[in-house]
């Protein structure tokens, strides 16, 4: 009897402790246990020695905030680059000491990509110019897309992409630029997109066989398509040049009200020795959108 009473007493204490912990706001938890200063922008604050990767934020998610304002706030939060900028936006960022972490332009199309032979002539010409501009500006990465399947088999899509990308990657390698293809979900946001599984991207990368072609592993998109995020990162990190974040479901903030636990994911990325960019690509729901961005950087600083 006394043993049973002791067990009940212990259980009550455990439940009480768990309940108390559950009442702690996620943002407070993140600030208290995860956030460390970003030594990339604050060299004197050196508690983040394990973190080799750098923070970025996608421009389109904060489009209603003037770029100059976003850049200055980003610097305050320990962000060192802005993602998915077009050439006319590069100077604003460079003049403030930040970088463009991933270049794009208006011609870049998610639906009409390199898996369609008829697109090659236009895309090769356009991307050649973009790669030249990026190299002149010191930008190291340019984004590309597979395009929609439109009935193509996986093998044919890979063959066509490799055929169209080969001349670009040859040119990019001479200029020190990496061509990065984004993995996107075809269930919710980009119906029929072909590069919608990590292994499809890996097969394409192996076929191309160049260190100047890599993948953009979008955590939000790949959670929707295949899950198993941390195991995939650990297995295939050598193929990944860039990461995007967002909460699942909804593509909003990355706090505790969505199904991914970003502190563990970020630690997994850091443990691979990744030294590229992790870019925030969530659509903010907070009234103060910059506060949402600041919170996400705290969550993603290990």
pLDDT of residue 40: 43
Q: Do 240 and 179 belong together in one domain?
A: yes
Domain containing 114 equals 34-299
Q: Do 171 and 220 belong together in one domain?
A: yes
Q: Do 161 and 180 belong together in one domain?
A: yes
Q: Do 184 and 285 belong together in one domain?
A: yes
Q: Do 133 and 195 belong together in one domain?
A: yes
Percent helix, percent strand, percent coil in the chain, to nearest 5? 50, 15, 40
Query: Residue 119 sits in a domain of what CATH number?
Result: 3.20.20.150
Q: Do 19 and 143 belong together in one domain?
A: no
Q: HSE-up of 195 (CA within 13 Å, CB side)? A: 31
- Counted domains in the chain: 2
pLDDT in tens, 35-55: 343 444 333 333 343 789 999
Q: Do 15 and 75 belong together in one domain?
A: no
Q: Do 131 and 2 belong together in one domain?
A: no
**Single pTM value for the model:** 0.84
pLDDT in tens, 132-153: 999 999 999 999 999 999 999 9
- Residue 73: how many CB atoms within 10 A of its CB? 17
DSSP 183: P
Kindly give the parts of the chain with pLDDT less than 70.
1-49
Q: Do 81 and 205 belong together in one domain?
A: yes
């Amino acid at each position: 009897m006394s043993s049973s009473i002791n067990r009940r007493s212990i259980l009550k204490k455990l439940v009480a402790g768990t309940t108390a912990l559950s009442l702690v706001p996620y943002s407070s938890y993140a600030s208290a246990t995860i956030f460390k200063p970003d030594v990339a922008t604050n060299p004197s604050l050196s508690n983040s020695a394990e973190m080799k990767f750098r923070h970025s934020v996608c421009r389109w998610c904060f489009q209603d905030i003037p770029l100059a304002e976003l850049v200055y706030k980003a610097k305050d939060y320990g962000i060192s680059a802005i993602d998915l900028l077009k050439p006319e936006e590069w100077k604003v960022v460079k003049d403030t000491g930040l970088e463009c972490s991933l270049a794009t332009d208006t011609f870049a199309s998610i639906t009409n990509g390199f898996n369609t032979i008829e697109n090659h002539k236009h895309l090769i010409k356009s991307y050649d110019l973009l790669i030249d501009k990026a190299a002149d500006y010191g930008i190291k990465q340019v984004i590309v897309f597979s395009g929609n399947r439109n009935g193509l088999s996986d093998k044919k899509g890979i063959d066509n992409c490799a055929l169209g990308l080969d001349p670009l990657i040859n040119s990019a390698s001479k200029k020190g630029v990496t061509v990065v293809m984004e993995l996107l979900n075809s269930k919710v946001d980009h119906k029929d997109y072909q590069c919608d599984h990590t292994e499809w991207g890996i097969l394409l990368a192996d076929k191309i066989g160049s260190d100047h072609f890599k993948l953009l592993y979008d955590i939000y998109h790949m959670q929707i398509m295949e899950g198993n995020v941390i195991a995939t990162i650990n297995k295939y990190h050598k193929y990944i040049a860039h990461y995007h974040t967002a909460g699942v479901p909804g593509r909003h903030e990355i706090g505790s009200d969505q199904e991914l636990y970003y502190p563990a994911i970020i630690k997994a990325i850091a443990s691979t020795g990744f030294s590229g960019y992790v870019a925030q690509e969530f659509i903010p729901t907070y009234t103060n959108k910059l506060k949402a961005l600041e919170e996400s950087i705290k969550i993603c600083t290990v």
